């Protein structure tokens, strides 16, 4: 095996270095997270659940997902306008999210209100959900340094930005050097 790796020489080292560079870039990217909300939590998408109460303390952001879990043989997930939501009218849905498995995911990728109902009369039993999707809040700003506090050392200031990528780059160069021998 070692002879095979040595036979590859510079080509495999370049691949390793490329992968390390990609990893370094990913490590330096800001964290972006979306939430997958299971509609109704452990109750799922069913009758006799007040989805207004379920949604009231939640913030739905652009990029989040709604996960509907329900009995696929009886219910469905329809996106409707506000008027049809209020009247439980399923005749002209904007989108039918029902895919047949009873496990449907709806991306919330536009900042606007969304209205969902289940047709076949289930909306009248409470199967209706309205969510307002907003843009994510800006990241928290760093608090200003107090003039009386000591300035952080340059090493600490550089730790997050440069040290880890530098260590990864040195490792890649070392790996390439070892494989060339």
| DSSP secondary structure of 98-166 | --SSSEEEEEE-SSSEEEEE-TTTGGGGT-EEEEEEEPPPPPPPPPPPPTTSPPPPHHHHHIIIIIHHH
pLDDT at 176: 67
Helices (H), 31-98: 51-56, 82-87
94 pLDDT above the threshold of 90: yes
**Under DSSP, is residue 70 helix (H, G, I), strand (E, B) or coil?**
coil
Q: Which one-letter DSSP state was computed for residue 41?
A: G
pLDDT at 61: 96
pLDDT bin (cut points 50, 70, 90) of residue 29 is very low
Q: What sign results for the dihedral spanned by CA atoms 7, 13, 16, 18?
A: negative
4 pLDDT above the threshold of 90: no
Nearest to 44 by CA among 73, 66, 69: 69
The mean per-residue pLDDT over the stretch 31-37 comes to 78
The mean per-residue pLDDT over the stretch 25-48 comes to 77
Which strands, in side-by-side order, build the sheet including 103-108? Answer: 36-38, 64-69, 103-108
* Mean pLDDT for all residues in the chain: 79
Question: In whole angstroms, what is the distance from residue 68 CA to residue 96 CA?
Answer: 13
40 pLDDT above the threshold of 60: yes
The mean per-residue pLDDT over the stretch 73-94 comes to 97
CB 118 within 8 A of CB 45: yes
Q: Which one has a higher pLDDT value, 40 or 143?
A: 40
170 pLDDT above the threshold of 90: no
Tell me whether strands 128-134 and 60-61 are parallel, antiparallel or unpaired.
parallel
pLDDT bin (cut points 50, 70, 90) of residue 33 is confident
173 pLDDT above the threshold of 80: no
């Amino acid at each position: 095996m070692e002879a095979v790796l040595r036979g590859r020489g510079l080509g495999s080292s370049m691949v390793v270095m490329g992968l390390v560079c990609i990893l370094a870039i990913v490590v330096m990217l800001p964290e972006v997270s979306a939430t997958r909300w299971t509609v109704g939590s452990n109750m799922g998408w069913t009758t006799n659940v007040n989805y207004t109460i379920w949604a009231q303390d939640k913030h739905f952001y652009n990029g989040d997902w709604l996960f509907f879990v329900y009995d696929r043989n009886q219910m469905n997930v329809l996106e409707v306008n506000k008027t049809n939501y209020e009247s439980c009218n399923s005749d002209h849905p904007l989108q039918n999210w029902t895919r047949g498995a009873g496990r449907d995911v709806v991306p919330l990728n536009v900042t606007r209100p969304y209205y969902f109902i289940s047709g076949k009369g289930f909306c009248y039993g409470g199967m209706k959900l309205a969510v307002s999707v907003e843009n994510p809040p800006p990241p928290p700003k760093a608090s200003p340094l107090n003039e009386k506090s000591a300035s952080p050392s340059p090493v600490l200031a550089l730790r997050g930005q440069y040290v880890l990528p530098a260590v990864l780059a040195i490792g890649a160069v070392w790996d390439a050097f070892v494989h060339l021998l």
